[in-house]
């Protein structure tokens, strides 16, 4: 449903004429347009419509005999509202007195003290004296609602915000209000801990100190801390965050509401993984491999050794950039490789690269949907991605679109998605058969033969047809949210062409509110591609002088001895990339492995020769690009811990040592040079990017982006997906919790994943596997073990394993078919 | 137009006649003697010096000296819950509080929360007493001790243990009505 | 020249002959007594000044602070003897020595008693009794002035130089009045020998007939010794420390010493010339060995008076100082000498 256009009306507020959009909630309109604050507790527009539970917002409206709740009344033309009459004051004082009847006066102990809406409202609208001398209600306190959240039920004023969040926003339906009247309290229905990907948001929603963060518990007071706005780079969603800093330590992460990015929500990884910044395991000084062991050394020695090794390996060195790298770092890295080391072997995509014209076409400004488009589109097709894992806040955005704006959601994934339950239609296909599925969808949209490609994709031809019809029927504004894994692997290019075909058939190009939105693997995957961290693209997605090897090619060349060194910028191939056995051989063979890392993950610990400490996202400076083309700016919130130096500085230093002194003295100089070198970023500066970021795809200069290949393409007949034949198709997924930061954060550690083998009940029964029992998954003589997770929605014939975990990762297995047996 | 003084004019009283001549000399001599007498009379009045380290002037009960932290007499638990309100009230920003949570094994204060670190930088403190006023639990009060000089600035950062300890009774307290 | 000098230094009272060793012995004794008296004066000044200002004065070192001067001396002597780069080395060193020599030499003529028999040897209780008495004092006063002048000038500092310039003008101005004030006494006693002047006061101390002269002498003495209210030479508000700004340690101690020795010398002169020296009023004649104590006691009174004045009077403005010296004191002293001369001539 397209965004509603509001008509402006005029109403009278305390004798003053106020113009506001019609049907806006009175409390919002009064504050935004009339500069009058109507106190509210339960009302929070982010959660949804008004409930009128707390009665704090009572106002007098002429013509209505009783006082009305300001949070529930829409603004109408000619309405006359009074918020400061004696009647209103008396009501407000009475409501506050009621609310405070059972609220304990333990503000000095309470973590909310100093930033508590109830304190503010009591000061602003309360009487100051309580007549209530009877004993207050008592609950055991504090209880752990989850390992991350403490609940103090005495303090709760029963505003329902947290329950509504759980029911209506994250839709995990875990929180409920138990008992009745004064004995009511918030809890999970079954008493289990409230563990959900977005549970931390209720801490910020709570208007009193009833829900508090366990890791932040008693750490600081509002006057002890400073807030520092930046971007979370732990996933491609790139939520805007505000770091709470005390004594140069990050103590908390809060949302920094940005309608165009995160809508004011954060996932628990973004909210709690800050703890990994201040743990002992973190690498904070340069390490050098000496006699088989990594030992701390001085920066000078580390840089000297790295420069010498790179100099020796000129022309035989490759580089890989991880998703957390900024544009500046990527730009410097490709410069280091291409200019100083005469090498073109550089990649930032796990699944290999695409032909350059397809990269250009998929990133074309006219085809880009924005994040709010997900909410306001007529239909969204989630293709080959699981938003909760890949870009969590987009999951909430899609749910909001479905719930509030009549969005028709379609999912087409190999692994069952959490969004299936909200989707009009959920289509399954075989793992790894994305190209075939896209071809089938293209065929369905053009009316060609669907059965062939659908069979190759392991999908139901009727379902594909229904999907095509559903998309056609939903409306014109259609957004395809696709994951990078769709366009990866051997058939990646075909899948990309098919995707462009689908976009063309649906007429997505050039339409506002419609388009493609690709979720990359790495947090800044899009930015790294645009600054030229691709084997076949120079900065600005221009054609490079020579094409190099992609990630898989680099591994093979290293293993074969054609390459001798590899530069790992915030990535560990053994964790982040596929085909662990090949990478192990490759790293074993490599004479030089230079890494920027925060944690000693397996590949770094065993194979790196030089390790530079990497900055955390709270220390970083630079820019990143959101999947929808928004350049966002990272600002350092704290000083660099230990001896850590910024990555851009190390890269610039190495370039200088190798003979390219570019006089890059500050990060903003690097940013300026990087922005200059890319035509479609022309005219951008750190100032114009600003606190909210700028979508380059919306700027006129964005037209300078290369157009790439033009759809439609003729698609080759897709190769059929492997037939299980008693074995199971191997599908992989990367959990939201699969990151070293989660493993290193004391409070989040319990969520750090171990191998989980997802399979359908039918398969489980056939193989004699019980839910929760250990199983072995084997293929070509290699095997991993994990816990069986029998999932009713999982398609028969497939098994899904986690990647990006330190032990028993699915990357050990080659596929496409694996054997599963009880361990 | 000439100015004529009104009825309320101020009478200008002349100073001593111009010095000089035998009269002036005589008067200067006399005034010198008068001065000598004045100083001599002063000498007979005795000494007003307080011999500070040996003698101390008693302080009033409301004198604001070095802070003290208090414990409950019956349980021995600290009154301070580490709420940081003193730090918020402090105009010279000399109080640092880092709170922590009480556990059944390690119960320090009466509430859920206690001050794991409580430091007052006395070299910055202006002894205004706002912390005492801000404290919701009467956990911090201003004591009477004013002898806090030290050789090292870092020694002037008083920790919780120092503030909790019974101070040396070095300062006499003024008795009622004194 | 040598002859004239030896004539001038010929003992006035030729009642006995002093062996040469006696002169050495006496000078040592007087020097020792002088050195003992200075710390006492110093201490007395601090203590008494304290009382005038309702405080104790130094009382930390030794009982009642009695060891303070000793501590002072130890401190001053153990301090580094630095000298400014712009100073003229040997003059800078010489100047304080001149000052102390002049002060000690002037002390030589203060008679602490008449000639007494000690173990059969007649001994005059004084350093020397020269026939030119007061002139000797003025002569050494003039030498002491070199000490100040050279010290200020050779320091190479503007404050020192200004201080010494002031000192020069002040000392010269008041020396005239001081000398004229003594003329009355000399005329009355009809001798310049100090012992004879003391003997001449057998009937009446000269303070009574020569009261005006006494006053002028005392005022001029304050100026000559740079004591308040005439301490413009070292007015610290204006000149930092006057001519001794750049001095420290032992050299400063010499100046300091000389200053207090000068106070003693002037007190001794006042006692001798106006207060009857070793004699007591009301016909009391103690035995001869008491004489020095009487003189020292009377000197002590003067010292107390010096301190008392210091506690009372503020410092004069420079132009007032000069006009007072030239326009008031000098005419008055001249008038006093004239009237005395007339009265003496008419009387006898």
Candidates C54, C308, C311; nearest CB to B45? C54
Predicted confidence (pLDDT) at residue B104 exceeds the cutoff of 90: no
Identify the domain containing residue B144 by its residue range: 67-164
Q: Are the beta carbons of B38 and C51 separated by less than 8 Å? A: no
The tens digit of pLDDT for each residue in A80-119 reads: 999 999 999 999 999 999 889 889 988 889 999 889 999 9
Q: Are the beta carbons of B49 and C313 separated by less than 8 Å? A: no
8 Å CB contact between A778 and A818: yes
Q: Which of A106, A108, A139, A226 is best to mutate for the B interface (most B CBs within 10 A)?
A: A108
Average pLDDT value for residue range A560-571: 94
Q: What part of C 30-59 touches B (C-beta under 8 Å)?
A: 48, 50-56
Chain B residues contacting C via beta carbons under 8 Å: 25, 32, 35-36, 38-40, 42-43, 45-49, 51
Give residue A130's pLDDT. 82
Of A68 and C25, the structure prediction assigns the larger pLDDT to: A68
8 Å CB contact between A205 and A162: yes
Q: Which helix (H) or strand (E) holds A802?
A: strand A798-802
Distance CA(C184)–CA(C193), nearest Å, equals 14
- Using a CB-CB cut-off of 8 Å, the residues of chain A touching B113 are 108-109, 218
- Using a CB-CB cut-off of 8 Å, the residues of chain C touching B46 are 54
The string of DSSP letters for C248-269 reads -HHHHHHHHHHHHHHHHHHHHH
Quick one: what percent of chain A has pLDDT higher than 90? Answer: 78
The tens digit of pLDDT for each residue in A27-65 reads: 999 999 999 999 998 899 899 888 888 889 999 999 999
Q: Are the beta carbons of A224 and B87 separated by less than 8 Å? A: yes
User: How many other C-beta atoms lie within 10 A of the C-beta of residue A546?
Assistant: 12
Q: What is the CA radius of gyration of chain A?
A: 28
Residue A393 sits at the vertex; the CA angle it makes with A391 and A398, to the nearest 5 degrees, is 100
Q: Are the beta carbons of A108 and B111 separated by less than 8 Å? A: yes
Q: Are the beta carbons of B36 and C312 separated by less than 8 Å? A: yes
The string of DSSP letters for B113-157 reads EEEEEEEEETTT-----HHHHH-TTS-EEE-S------S-GGGGE
Q: Which helix (H) or strand (E) holds A229?
A: strand A226-231
Give the closest-approach CA distance of A276 to chain B in angstroms. 20
Which residues, 6+ apart, have CB-to-CB distance to A351 below 8 Å? A484, A485, A487, A488, A489, A492, A521, A551, A578
Which long-range contacts (C-beta less than 8 Å, at least 24 apart) are formed by A668-677? A668/A621, A670/A328, A670/A331, A670/A332, A670/A622, A671/A327, A671/A328, A671/A622, A671/A623, A673/A331, A674/A327, A674/A328, A674/A331, A674/A531, A674/A539, A674/A623, A677/A331, A677/A539, A677/A540
Predicted confidence (pLDDT) at residue A281 exceeds the cutoff of 80: yes
**Domains within chain A, CATH numbers bracketed:** 8-84 (3.10.20.740), 287-349+524-690 (3.40.50.740), 357-519 (3.40.228.10), 728-822 (2.40.40.20)
Q: Are the beta carbons of B84 and A142 separated by less than 8 Å? A: no
| A822, two tokens | 């009880």
Position B52 in a domain: no
* Helical pair C249-274 and C291-312, crossing angle rounded to 10 deg: 110
Phi and psi at residue A318, in whole multiples of 5°?
-115, 170
Distance CA(C283)–CA(C285), nearest Å, equals 6
The tens digit of pLDDT for each residue in A635-644 reads: 999 999 999 9
Distance CA(A34)–CA(A492), nearest Å, equals 54
Position B88 in a domain: yes
- Using a CB-CB cut-off of 8 Å, the residues of chain B touching C48 are 43
Burial group, residue C6, by CB count within 10 angstroms (0-12, 13-18, 19+): exposed
Distance CA(C221)–CA(C182), nearest Å, equals 12
Q: Are the beta carbons of C54 and B35 separated by less than 8 Å? A: no
Candidates B35, B36, B47; nearest CB to C55? B47
Distance CA(A683)–CA(A415), nearest Å, equals 43
Quick one: what percent of chain A has pLDDT higher than 70? Answer: 100
The answer for A683, left when phi > 0, alpha when psi is -120 to 50, beta otherwise, is: left
Nearest Cα to Cα of residue A723 among A797, A643, A796, A640: A797
Candidates B87, B99, B136; nearest CB to A218? B99
Q: Are the beta carbons of C54 and B40 separated by less than 8 Å? A: no
- Using a CB-CB cut-off of 8 Å, the residues of chain A touching B98 are 219-220
Q: Are the beta carbons of B83 and A109 separated by less than 8 Å? A: yes
Nearest Cα to Cα of residue A56 among A77, A39, A32: A39
Residue B104 sits at the vertex; the CA angle it makes with B103 and B106, to the nearest 5 degrees, is 60
Q: How confident is the model at residue B14 (pLDDT cuts 50, 70, 90)?
A: low
Please state which of the ranges A170-184, A226-240, A665-679, C32-46 shows the lowest mean pLDDT: C32-46
Give the closest-approach CA distance of A580 to chain B in angstroms. 44
Task: Assign residue B85 the CATH number of its domain.
Answer: 3.30.70.3270
Name the residue in chain B with its Cα closest to that of A106.
B111
- Using a CB-CB cut-off of 8 Å, the residues of chain A touching B100 are 218
Name the residue in chain C with its Cα closest to that of B31.
C313
Sign, CA torsion A304/A307/A310/A311: negative
Instruction: Report how many Cβ contacts below 8 Å link chain B to chain C.
Output: 34
Q: Are the beta carbons of B42 and C52 separated by less than 8 Å? A: yes
Candidates B88, B101, B137; nearest CB to A218? B101
Give residue C12's pLDDT. 45
Position B54 in a domain: no
What is the number of structural domains in chain B? 1
Sign, CA torsion A445/A446/A447/A452: negative
Name the residue in chain C with its Cα closest to that of B42.
C52
Distance CA(A402)–CA(A384), nearest Å, equals 19
Position B79 in a domain: yes
Distance CA(C171)–CA(A505), nearest Å, equals 117
Q: Are the beta carbons of B111 and A217 separated by less than 8 Å? A: no
Position B46 in a domain: no
Distance CA(C239)–CA(C148), nearest Å, equals 15
Neighbours of chain C (3+ CB pairs under 8 A): B
Predicted confidence (pLDDT) at residue A631 exceeds the cutoff of 60: yes
Q: Are the beta carbons of B40 and C56 separated by less than 8 Å? A: no
Helices then strands (H, E): number in chain C? 13, 2
Cα-Cα-Cα-Cα torsion C72, C75, C79, C85, nearest 10 degrees, comes to -20
Instruction: Report how many Cβ contacts below 8 Å link chain A to chain B.
Output: 41
Q: Are the beta carbons of B42 and C328 separated by less than 8 Å? A: no
Give residue C39's pLDDT. 87
| A788, two tokens | 């069986």
Q: What part of B 54-83 touches A (C-beta under 8 Å)?
A: 81-83
8 Å CB contact between A219 and B99: yes
Of C242 and A473, the structure prediction assigns the larger pLDDT to: A473
Reading chain C (348 residues) residue by residue, the pLDDT tens digits are 344 444 444 444 444 556 777 778 888 888 888 888 888 888 888 888 988 988 888 888 888 888 888 888 888 888 888 888 888 888 888 888 888 888 888 888 888 877 777 777 777 777 777 778 888 888 888 888 888 888 888 888 888 888 888 888 888 888 888 888 888 888 888 888 888 888 878 778 888 788 888 888 988 888 888 888 888 777 777 777 778 888 888 888 888 888 888 888 888 888 888 888 787 877 777 777 788 888 888 888 989 998 999 889 888 888 888 888 888 888 888 988 888 888 888 877
Structure-token match 């392991």, residue found: A458
Structure-token match 């008067």, residue found: B27
Nearest Cα to Cα of residue B116 among B76, B84, B79, B160: B160
Which residues, 6+ apart, have CB-to-CB distance to A44 below 8 Å? A161, A205
Candidates A108, A142, A220; nearest CB to B85? A108
Distance CA(A544)–CA(C274), nearest Å, equals 116
Judging contact as 3 or more Cβ pairs under 8 Å, the answer for A and C is no
Q: Are the beta carbons of C308 and B32 separated by less than 8 Å? A: no
Please list the residues that pair with B140 across neighbouring strands.
B69
- Using a CB-CB cut-off of 8 Å, the residues of chain B touching C53 are 42
Distance CA(B95)–CA(B122), nearest Å, equals 9
CA C309 to each of CA A505, B44, C10, C56, C306: distance values in angstroms, whole numbers, following the listed order: 115, 16, 38, 18, 5
Mean predicted lDDT score pLDDT of chain A: 92
Which residues, 6+ apart, have CB-to-CB distance to C113 below 8 Å? C125, C126, C278, C288, C289, C291, C292, C295
Q: Are the beta carbons of C311 and B45 separated by less than 8 Å? A: no
Average pLDDT value for residue range A739-752: 91
Of A1 and C292, the structure prediction assigns the larger pLDDT to: C292
8 Å CB contact between C127 and C16: no
Chain A residues contacting B via beta carbons under 8 Å: 106-109, 113-114, 141-142, 217-221, 223-224
| A174, two tokens | 């875990």
Q: Which of B86, B98, B134 is best to mutate for the A interface (most A CBs within 10 A)?
A: B98
Name the residue in chain A with its Cα closest to that of B84.
A221
Candidates B100, B101, B137; nearest CB to A108? B137
Nearest Cα to Cα of residue A325 among A251, A264, A236, A393: A236
Predicted confidence (pLDDT) at residue B25 exceeds the cutoff of 80: no
Predicted confidence (pLDDT) at residue B17 exceeds the cutoff of 70: no
Q: Are the beta carbons of A221 and B81 separated by less than 8 Å? A: no
Distance CA(A109)–CA(B119), nearest Å, equals 18
Q: Are the beta carbons of B42 and C53 separated by less than 8 Å? A: yes
Length of chain B: 178
Q: Are the beta carbons of B111 and A106 separated by less than 8 Å? A: yes
- Using a CB-CB cut-off of 8 Å, the residues of chain B touching A220 are 84, 98
8 Å CB contact between C275 and C207: yes
Sign, CA torsion A44/A50/A51/A54: positive
Q: CB-based contact (8 Å) between B117 and chain A?
A: no
Please tell me whether the overall predicted TM-score, pTM, comes out greater than 0.90 for this model.
Answer: no
């Amino acid at each position: 449903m397209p965004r509603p256009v509001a008509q402006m009306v005029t109403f009278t507020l305390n004798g003053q004429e106020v113009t506001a959009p019609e049907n806006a909630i009175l409390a919002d309109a009064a504050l935004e347009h009339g500069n009058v604050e109507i106190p509210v507790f339960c009302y929070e527009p982010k959660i949804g419509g008004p409930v009128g539970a707390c009665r704090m917002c009572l106002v007098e409206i002429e013509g209505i005999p009783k006082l009305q709740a300001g949070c529930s009344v829409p603004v109408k033309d000619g309405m006359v509202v009074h918020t400061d009459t004696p009647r209103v004051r008396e009501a407000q004082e009475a409501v506050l007195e009621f609310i405070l009847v059972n609220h304990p006066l333990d503000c000095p102990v309470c973590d909310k003290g100093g930033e508590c809406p109830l304190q503010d409202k009591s000061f602003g609208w309360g009487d100051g004296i309580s007549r209530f001398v009877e004993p207050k209600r008592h609950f055991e306190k504090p209880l752990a609602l989850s390992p991350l959240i403490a609940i103090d039920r005495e303090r709760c004023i029963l505003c329902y915000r947290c329950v509504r969040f759980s029911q209506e926003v994250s839709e995990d339906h875990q929180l409920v209000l138990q008992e009745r009247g004064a004995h009511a309290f918030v809890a999970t229905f079954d008493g289990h801990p409230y563990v959900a990907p977005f549970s931390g948001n209720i801490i910020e929603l709570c208007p009193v100190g009833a829900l508090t963060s366990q890791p932040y518990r008693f750490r600081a007071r509002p006057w002890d801390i400073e807030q520092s706005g930046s971007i979370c780079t732990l996933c491609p969603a790139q939520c805007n965050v505000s770091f709470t800093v005390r004594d140069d330590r990050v103590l908390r992460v809060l949302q920094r509401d940005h309608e165009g990015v995160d809508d004011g929500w954060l996932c628990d990884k973004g909210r709690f993984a800050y703890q990994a910044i201040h743990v002992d395991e973190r690498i904070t000084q340069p390490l050098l491999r000496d006699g088989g062991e990594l030992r701390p050394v001085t920066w000078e020695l580390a840089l000297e050794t790295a420069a010498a090794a790179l100099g020796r390996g000129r022309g035989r060195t490759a580089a890989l950039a991880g998703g957390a790298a900024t544009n500046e770092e990527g730009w410097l890295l490709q410069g280091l490789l291409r200019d100083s080391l005469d090498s073109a072997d550089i990649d930032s995509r796990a699944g290999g690269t695409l032909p350059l014209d397809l990269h250009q076409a998929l990133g074309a400004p006219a085809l880009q949907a924005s994040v709010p488009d997900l909410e306001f589109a007529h239909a969204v097709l989630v293709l080959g991605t699981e938003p909760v894992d890949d870009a969590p806040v987009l999951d909430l955005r899609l749910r909001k679109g479905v719930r509030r704006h009549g969005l028709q959601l379609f999912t087409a994934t190999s692994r069952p998605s959490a969004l299936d339950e909200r989707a009009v239609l959920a289509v399954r296909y075989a793992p790894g058969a994305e190209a075939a599925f896209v071809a089938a969808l293209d065929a369905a949209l053009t009316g060609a033969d669907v059965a062939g490609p659908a069979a190759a994709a392991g999908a139901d031809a009727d379902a594909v047809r229904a999907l095509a019809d559903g998309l056609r029927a939903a409306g014109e504004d259609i957004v395809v949210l696709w994951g990078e894994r769709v366009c990866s692997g051997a058939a990646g290019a075909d899948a990309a062409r098919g995707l462009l075909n689908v976009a063309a058939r649906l007429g997505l190009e050039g339409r506002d509110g419609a388009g493609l939105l690709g979720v990359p693997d790495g947090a800044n995957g899009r930015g790294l591609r645009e600054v030229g961290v691709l084997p076949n693209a120079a900065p600005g997605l221009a054609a490079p002088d020579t094409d190099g090897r992609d990630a898989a090619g680099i591994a093979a060349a290293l293993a074969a001895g054609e390459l001798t060194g590899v530069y790992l910028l915030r990535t560990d191939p053994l964790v982040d990339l596929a085909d662990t056995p090949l990478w192990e051989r490759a790293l074993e063979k490599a004479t030089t492995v230079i890494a920027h890392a925060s944690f000693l993950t397996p590949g770094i610990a065993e194979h790196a020769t030089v390790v530079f400490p990497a900055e955390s996202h709270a220390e970083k400076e630079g820019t990143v690009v959101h999947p929808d083309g928004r350049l966002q700016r990272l600002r350092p919130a704290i000083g660099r811990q230990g001896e850590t130096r910024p990555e851009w500085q190390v890269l610039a230093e190495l370039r200088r040592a190798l003979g390219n002194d570019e006089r890059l003295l500050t990060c903003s100089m690097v940013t300026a040079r990087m922005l200059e070198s890319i035509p479609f970023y022309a005219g951008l500066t750190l100032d114009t990017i600003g606190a909210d970021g700028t979508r380059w795809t919306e700027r006129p200069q964005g037209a300078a982006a290369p157009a790439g290949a033009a759809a439609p393409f003729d698609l080759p007949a897709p190769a059929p997906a492997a037939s299980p034949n008693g074995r199971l198709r191997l599908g992989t997924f990367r959990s939201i919790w699969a990151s070293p930061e989660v493993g290193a954060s004391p409070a989040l550690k319990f969520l750090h994943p171990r191998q989980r083998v997802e399979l359908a009940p039918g398969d489980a029964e056939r193989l004699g596997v019980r839910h929760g029992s250990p199983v072995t998954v084997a293929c070509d003589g290699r095997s991993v073990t994990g816990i069986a997770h029998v999932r009713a929605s999982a398609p028969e014939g497939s098994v899904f394993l986690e990647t990006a975990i330190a032990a028993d990762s699915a990357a050990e297995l080659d596929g496409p078919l694996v054997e599963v047996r009880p361990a | 137009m000439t100015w004529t003084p009104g009825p309320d004019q101020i009478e200008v009283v002349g100073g001593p006649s111009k010095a000089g001549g035998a009269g002036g000399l005589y008067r200067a001599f006399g005034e010198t003697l008068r001065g000598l007498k004045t100083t001599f009379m002063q000498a007979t009045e005795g000494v007003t010096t307080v011999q500070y380290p040996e003698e101390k002037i008693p302080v009033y009960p409301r004198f604001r000296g070095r802070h003290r932290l208090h414990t409950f007499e019956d349980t021995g638990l600290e009154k301070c819950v580490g709420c940081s309100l003193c730090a918020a009230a402090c105009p010279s920003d000399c109080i640092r509080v880092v709170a922590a949570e009480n556990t059944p094994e390690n119960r320090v204060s009466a509430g859920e929360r206690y001050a794991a670190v409580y430091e007052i930088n006395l070299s910055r403190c202006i002894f205004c007493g706002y912390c005492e006023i801000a404290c919701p639990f009467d956990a911090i009060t201003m004591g009477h001790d004013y002898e806090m000089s030290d050789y090292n600035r870092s020694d002037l950062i008083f920790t919780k243990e120092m503030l909790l300890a019974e101070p040396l009774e070095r300062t006499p307290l003024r008795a009622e009505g004194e | 020249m040598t002859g004239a000098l030896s004539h001038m230094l010929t003992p006035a009272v030729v009642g006995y002959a002093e062996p040469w060793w006696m002169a050495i012995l006496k000078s040592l004794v007087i020097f020792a007594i002088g050195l003992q008296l200075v710390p006492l004066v110093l201490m007395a000044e601090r203590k008494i000044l304290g009382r005038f200002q309702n405080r104790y004065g130094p009382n930390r070192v030794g009982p009642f602070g009695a060891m303070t001067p000793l501590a002072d001396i130890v401190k001053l002597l153990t301090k580094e003897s630095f000298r400014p780069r712009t100073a003229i080395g040997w003059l800078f060193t010489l100047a304080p020595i001149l000052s102390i020599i002049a002060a000690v030499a002037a002390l030589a003529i203060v008679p602490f008693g008449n000639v007494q028999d000690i173990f059969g040897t007649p001994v005059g209780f004084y350093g020397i009794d020269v026939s030119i008495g007061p002139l000797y004092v003025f002569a050494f006063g003039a030498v002491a002035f070199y000490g100040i002048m050279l010290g200020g000038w050779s320091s190479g500092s503007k404050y020192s130089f200004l201080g010494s310039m002031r000192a020069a003008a002040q000392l010269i101005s008041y020396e005239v009045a001081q000398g004229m004030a003594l003329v009355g006494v000399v005329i009355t006693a009809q001798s310049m020998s100090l012992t004879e002047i003391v003997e001449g006061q057998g009937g009446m101390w000269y303070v009574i007939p020569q009261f005006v002269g006494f006053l002028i002498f005392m005022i001029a003495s304050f100026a000559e010794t740079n004591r308040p209210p005439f301490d413009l030479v070292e007015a610290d508000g204006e000149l930092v420390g006057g001519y001794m700004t750049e001095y420290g340690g032992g050299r400063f101690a010499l100046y300091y010493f000389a200053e207090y020795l000068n106070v003693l010398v002037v007190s001794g002169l006042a006692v001798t010339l106006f207060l009857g020296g070793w004699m007591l009023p009301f016909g009391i004649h103690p035995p001869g060995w008491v004489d020095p104590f009487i003189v020292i006691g009377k000197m002590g009174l003067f010292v107390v008076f010096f301190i008392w004045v210091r506690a009372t009077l503020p410092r004069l403005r420079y132009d007032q100082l000069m006009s007072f010296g030239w326009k008031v004191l000098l005419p008055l002293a001249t008038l006093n000498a004239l009237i005395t001369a007339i009265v003496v001539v008419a009387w006898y």
